[in-house]
Amino acid sequence: MSLNRLISELEKHQHAPTELWDPPYCGEIPIHIAANGDWLYQGSQIKRQALVKLFASVLVVEEGDYFLVTPAEKVKITVEDTPFVVVDWEQREEDGEQLLLLTTNIGDTLVLSSEHPLTMKDGIPYIVMQRGLTARVHRNVFYQWVSHAESRTVDGQEQWYLSSAGETFVLGNVK
């Protein structure tokens, strides 16, 4: 299987075609996504993973605000940090290329790549997902990455980095 085909197969997201819909804004509903990735309705955790995946399939972000969008309505929800969390990863080699496969708290799989890069905000790692959404990298995953990372010196500064899909992603500088 070619590298591009593998990445395409892994990243089949079940996201609805929200960009094709222009429903009226219907206000805010009491759905909240906690920093740990839990989805809550009126303060109670939504435990049905299928329901969380359904909501995630119509989740959009616009100018920092989060909405659930259907053909009939658009409702605002609150998100504490980011809607998703990278909870697991595995390393794979395909066509001589090293890939880091990432799994989110809702079971989506994506490849750390130029399409889904690692970004750091205030020392916290995030992965850019589709449609401008992001996933925070769970602390356990980040610690595993640090123990797996390679080091190099750039402009006299030692860095820890990961390689995936032909790209290099800096985890941080060695002090």
- Using alpha carbons only, how large is the chain's radius of gyration in Å? 18
Taking the C-alpha atoms of residue 164 and residue 167, their distance in angstroms, rounded to an integer, is: 5
**Residue 23: DSSP 8-state:** P
pLDDT per residue over 50-101, tens digit each? 999 999 999 999 999 999 999 999 999 999 999 999 999 999 988 888 999 9
**Residue 22 pLDDT:** 93
Sheet of 44-45: strands edge to edge? 44-45, 39-41, 25-33, 74-79, 65-69, 59-62
**Tokens matching residue 165:** 């899909």
**Residue 9 pLDDT:** 53
> Tokens 């769970």 sit at which residue?
138
Average pLDDT of 157-172?
92
Per DSSP, the three-state class of 163 is: strand
Whole-number percent of the chain with pLDDT over 90: 74
pTM for this model (two decimals)? 0.87
What number of other Cβ atoms are within 10 A of residue 66's Cβ? 19
